[in-house]
Chain A
């Protein structure tokens, strides 16, 4: 809100520099964005928080200034006649729940003219346009006293009456801005004998608007329920100066002052005008609110040592009426302070005026627990440590995406991952559903980097996915670890053969294995087949027991094409929650071997269909307790081999914790292994 200093000075004597005043107001919670110097002097630009509706006017700001400067506030009394012609103002209020007070005054002898220059200047300085004398007078009083006012053309009101009621279903009205508004029964309207003539607290109707022919007006000053005005204004998409103030609360005791002030202005501008009649319907006047303020409560909440007299002095400066008792203050709240209703509101007022920076800094005395991270949070750190150590950069992607992600990922409509949570009011179609996999975001990051010629991309994200449940249920939220890579993990690769550094399935698998090992998971298995967006022959599902941990593999060429990127691209995604559940970070020492290992290499010729895991499985089964480990070291396809065959080579390590093994016993085991492999897989030993 813009507040010209000259206007504020009507109410309070301001004897400090504008910049200092702005700082004082800001430090008391009324933020002054800037001080502008215009044609009519300095203007404060105040950013008023939504609890301080009382400060959306000159009088309200002046009250704050009077408290800050410890000066008196002077509100000039304006008097205006009520009129003697009973029956001119006919008002019925049907819905007092939404309109606690309605005052109306009929004035005739009106001549519509431009308003005098001093009014125009003040309106412009405060950021408003000048329209005509009647509208300007109403706006002037709203800016000055905070009470929104409306003037109807009296002769345009059917039956010359006002009915305050809820709108009928399907009722319509053209508002002053020329738009036809559809109303609903939750909205309060001001109607005449036949139809709505204003949307209560929001905007008047075009038919009853004051025009150049208007000779008689009905002035309205009313109190409408904040929540109701807000709802109506939101539904109609129609925020106005009036609705903004009603939403934030208007002083119910300020009605007469505002009505008299605007009347006086009109009578001053149009000396021939005459007040005919006034009604003021206020069946249940609000009672002044009294709050008990406990002295020790103030100090125990603020950590302060303020005396009762300091407290009451501060509150009195803010125009609270204070009576001091032994251990408490009885405080009567001014009617315009709609934001003060309980003890703690008063404590805030004391703290605010005392100055937050005048309180000391302390630390809470009692330590109630050790600080620290829980199990999940420790695993988050671990995952980040391992994956950055594996050359992956961390990314943070939007958790919202567009609806067609499922097409790009080749999901069938029955796929579980099509259970995307839909946003009812998306900002754009790009952010219309919540992600059900991290794959989509990671592939988009690859696309972005390729478009700027960054071709070596190795990234991960640790984030949540969301799967819809029933309509009003909260969705399922799962934390996932996603990995994506293409190109090379190497920084400089000069003179290194590219097949050694280009990402492939096995490099990706190595990362997954590293992560599993770091989490202490030893029993994960890799089985064929995974997600629809992966190459069916180059992907694997990772399982822990019978639970699916995730997948890894090369991205399907059609998905690669759908993201408009170039492959091969590799993706992995693991269920973080399961990783945490299955993981084990505790470590147990086992003694360092005292006797040497015996190493034997074994190259095997097998059919292409045989999987390495079958071979190592048989080796482990057959070798017995002396086997230490089986390490794969070579895969060979080639012309020297028979059609449909491949060669796999393993180093097999034997060790005993008690003695050095002899060649004879190792040879005997090797023979048993060879025999078993030959019997079960028709594997032949290559020399």
Chain B
């Protein structure tokens, strides 16, 4: 009997090891462990065994049954894992096909530059002021110490609506509004759209954007002007930016300065971007002219400060290496999608 058991177990193990499908496994399970299976038959035949041998033999058969069942379970896990692997394999995708979904919209490059400028100045305690794009001659010129028949108007050829109303040629009139409407101290930047009667070319646009700044307090100095604009330029163009301040003329500031930063492409050695000079002129600035402070009803003996202005298009052209100012206004997606 013991021999029969050993033979049966080795036969069952041998067959289980060769199983390749769940159906085959069930078949073997039935053949050995089913109601009519060989092991079950052995248990049934215990009756014909001598009573004193029965417990031991019964135990042996039960052990055999458990071992075969365990083996069958192990085979089943193996088969299921294999089946899952096959199924997932069949679901394989071509992961090199492109992703699919709605596009991400983009801010305009001029907005990006404006945002950058704004956030730097906000960090320096500036608020943002805005004003009308259509102005009177008084706000655009007279209050800024640019009387009619002054040659300074040559560079600011204007679009007129009537004899005394025009499209602002700079954002400086916002300075006048801010100073008229409030009491010093002031610390504002004034971004906005401006207009000059210049023909459309790759370098000039009759419509463009400026950001001006104004700081008025009791003891704001020329060295403060230099400091603020140095901090700004280094944030905007890199911490290794060098500054060059030189005298210039604006009717509404005195002393006036034209400010260049070291070229961020060639670091001052000279390249195409900076026309070989190593410098990029980006800012005009100066101490607010006492006449301007008086024009808006404040006492220039008590209040002093500085103003500055920059062209947003110019900075964007430089920073992004764009060769034609018209790109900004044409809305060509092949251009906009690069930002």
Identify the A interface with B (CB < 8 A). Answer: 26-29, 31, 49-52, 226-228, 230-231, 247-248, 300-304, 342, 344-345, 347-348, 351-352, 356-357, 359-374, 376-377, 384, 387-400, 421-427, 431, 434, 444-445, 448-449, 452, 454, 456-460, 463-464, 466, 471-475, 477, 489-494, 496
Query: A393-B333, A490-B102 known; A366 and B217 CB under 8 Å?
Result: yes
Q: Is the beta-carbon distance between A247 and B151 smaller than 8 angstroms?
A: yes
Chain B residues with Cβ below 8 Å from A364 are 187, 215, 217, 220, 224, 227-228
Smallest CB-CB A-B distances: 5 pairs: A303-B221, A29-B247, A303-B223, A445-B331, A388-B105
Q: Is the beta-carbon distance between B206 and A368 smaller than 8 angstroms?
A: no
Min C-beta distance of B226 to chain A, whole Å: 5
B312-339 toward A: CB 8 Å interface, digit per residue (1/0)?
A: 0000000000000000111111101100
Complex Cα–Cα for A175 and B161 (A):
33
Complex Cα–Cα for A494 and B217 (A):
62
Q: Is the beta-carbon distance between B106 and A371 smaller than 8 angstroms?
A: no
Min C-beta distance of B217 to chain A, whole Å: 6
Q: Is the beta-carbon distance between B254 and A304 smaller than 8 angstroms?
A: no
A475 is contacted by which of B161, B187, B223 (Cβ under 8 Å)?
A: B161
Q: Is B124 an interface residue (CB 8 A)?
A: yes
Q: Is B85 an interface residue (CB 8 A)?
A: no
Q: Is the beta-carbon distance between B127 and A371 smaller than 8 angstroms?
A: yes
A452 is contacted by which of B132, B243, B332 (Cβ under 8 Å)?
A: B332
Q: Is the beta-carbon distance between B206 and A400 smaller than 8 angstroms?
A: yes
Complex Cα–Cα for A28 and B217 (A):
28
Q: Is the beta-carbon distance between B246 and A29 smaller than 8 angstroms?
A: yes
Q: Is the beta-carbon distance between B151 and A427 smaller than 8 angstroms?
A: no
B108-124 toward A: CB 8 Å interface, digit per residue (1/0)?
A: 10110000001001111
Q: Is the beta-carbon distance between B125 and A301 smaller than 8 angstroms?
A: no
Q: Is the beta-carbon distance between B98 and A424 smaller than 8 angstroms?
A: no
Min C-beta distance of A212 to chain B, whole Å: 36
Q: Is the beta-carbon distance between B244 and A357 smaller than 8 angstroms?
A: yes
Q: Is B84 an interface residue (CB 8 A)?
A: no
**Of residues A364, A399, A457, which shows the largest number of chain B Cβ atoms within 10 Å of its Cβ?**
A364
Chain A residues with Cβ below 8 Å from B164 are 472
Complex Cα–Cα for A422 and B231 (A):
42
Complex Cα–Cα for A169 and B224 (A):
55
A388 is contacted by which of B100, B107, B197, B333 (Cβ under 8 Å)?
A: B107
Complex Cα–Cα for A368 and B127 (A):
11
9-residue interface stretch from B25-33, B46-54, B57-65, B152-160: B152-160
Give the interface residue-count category, chain B.
35 or more
Q: Is the beta-carbon distance between A384 and B111 smaller than 8 angstroms?
A: yes
Q: Is the beta-carbon distance between A363 and B197 smaller than 8 angstroms?
A: no
Q: Is B1 an interface residue (CB 8 A)?
A: no
Q: Is B126 an interface residue (CB 8 A)?
A: yes
Complex Cα–Cα for A374 and B126 (A):
11
B246 is contacted by which of A27, A367, A370, A471 (Cβ under 8 Å)?
A: A27
Complex Cα–Cα for A303 and B135 (A):
35
Q: Is B237 an interface residue (CB 8 A)?
A: no
Q: Is the beta-carbon distance between A356 and B246 smaller than 8 angstroms?
A: yes
Across the interface, name the chain B residue whose C-beta is closest to A457: B333
A to B CB contacts below 8 Å, 20 in the list? A26-B246, A29-B249, A50-B152, A50-B249, A227-B147, A301-B222, A302-B221, A302-B255, A303-B221, A304-B221, A362-B224, A369-B185, A391-B105, A395-B336, A425-B159, A427-B200, A459-B331, A466-B134, A474-B135, A494-B100
Chain B residues with Cβ below 8 Å from A351 are 222, 247, 255
B257-288 toward A: CB 8 Å interface, digit per residue (1/0)?
A: 10000000000000000000000000000010
**Of residues B103, B121, B152, B197, which shows the largest number of chain A Cβ atoms within 10 Å of its Cβ?**
B103
Min C-beta distance of B110 to chain A, whole Å: 6
Chain B residues with Cβ below 8 Å from A366 are 185, 217, 219
Query: A423-B161, A445-B331, A477-B133 known; A371 and B100 CB under 8 Å?
Result: no
**Of residues A303, A393, A423, A456, which shows the largest number of chain B Cβ atoms within 10 Å of its Cβ?**
A393
Query: A372-B127, A388-B107, A448-B332 known; A230 and B151 CB under 8 Å?
Result: yes
Q: Is the beta-carbon distance between B126 and A371 smaller than 8 angstroms?
A: yes
Complex Cα–Cα for A685 and B334 (A):
51
Q: Is the beta-carbon distance between A361 and B221 smaller than 8 angstroms?
A: no
Q: Is the beta-carbon distance between A493 and B289 smaller than 8 angstroms?
A: no
Q: Is B248 an interface residue (CB 8 A)?
A: yes
Q: Is the beta-carbon distance between B206 and A431 smaller than 8 angstroms?
A: yes
Q: Is the beta-carbon distance between B223 and A361 smaller than 8 angstroms?
A: yes
Q: Is the beta-carbon distance between B231 and A363 smaller than 8 angstroms?
A: yes
B161 is contacted by which of A231, A357, A424 (Cβ under 8 Å)?
A: A424
Q: Is B136 an interface residue (CB 8 A)?
A: yes
Q: Is the beta-carbon distance between B122 and A373 smaller than 8 angstroms?
A: yes
Query: A360-B223, A458-B105 known; A230 and B230 CB under 8 Å?
Result: no
Complex Cα–Cα for A52 and B135 (A):
29
Across the interface, name the chain B residue whose C-beta is closest to A459: B331
Complex Cα–Cα for A252 and B103 (A):
69
Q: Is the beta-carbon distance between A384 and B107 smaller than 8 angstroms?
A: yes
Min C-beta distance of A339 to chain B, whole Å: 8
B149 is contacted by which of A231, A400, A492 (Cβ under 8 Å)?
A: A231
Complex Cα–Cα for A303 and B247 (A):
17
Query: A29-B247, A351-B255 known; A472 and B111 CB under 8 Å?
Result: no
A489 is contacted by which of B103, B221, B248, B289 (Cβ under 8 Å)?
A: B103
B332 is contacted by which of A360, A424, A449 (Cβ under 8 Å)?
A: A449
Q: Is B311 an interface residue (CB 8 A)?
A: no
Chain B residues with Cβ below 8 Å from A304 are 221-223
Min C-beta distance of B71 to chain A, whole Å: 48
Q: Is the beta-carbon distance between A452 and B334 smaller than 8 angstroms?
A: yes
Q: Is B104 an interface residue (CB 8 A)?
A: yes
Complex Cα–Cα for A359 and B287 (A):
14
Chain B residues with Cβ below 8 Å from A448 are 330-332
Min C-beta distance of A497 to chain B, whole Å: 13
Across the interface, name the chain A residue whose C-beta is closest to B154: A50
Min C-beta distance of B222 to chain A, whole Å: 4
Q: Is the beta-carbon distance between A490 and B287 smaller than 8 angstroms?
A: no
Chain B residues with Cβ below 8 Å from A398 are 206-207, 329
A396 is contacted by which of B101, B150, B257, B329 (Cβ under 8 Å)?
A: B329
Q: Is the beta-carbon distance between B149 and A226 smaller than 8 angstroms?
A: yes
Q: Is the beta-carbon distance between A344 and B100 smaller than 8 angstroms?
A: no
Chain B stretch 157-182: residues in CB contact (< 8 A) with chain A = 159-162, 164-165, 167
Across the interface, name the chain B residue whose C-beta is closest to A455: B333
Min C-beta distance of B98 to chain A, whole Å: 5
Q: Is the beta-carbon distance between A348 and B159 smaller than 8 angstroms?
A: no
Q: Is the beta-carbon distance between A49 and B248 smaller than 8 angstroms?
A: yes
Query: A356-B257, A421-B161 known; A394 and B330 CB under 8 Å?
Result: no
Complex Cα–Cα for A389 and B104 (A):
6
A248 is contacted by which of B126, B151, B219 (Cβ under 8 Å)?
A: B151
Across the interface, name the chain B residue whose C-beta is closest to A453: B334
Across the interface, name the chain B residue whose C-beta is closest to A229: B149
Q: Is the beta-carbon distance between A397 and B105 smaller than 8 angstroms?
A: no
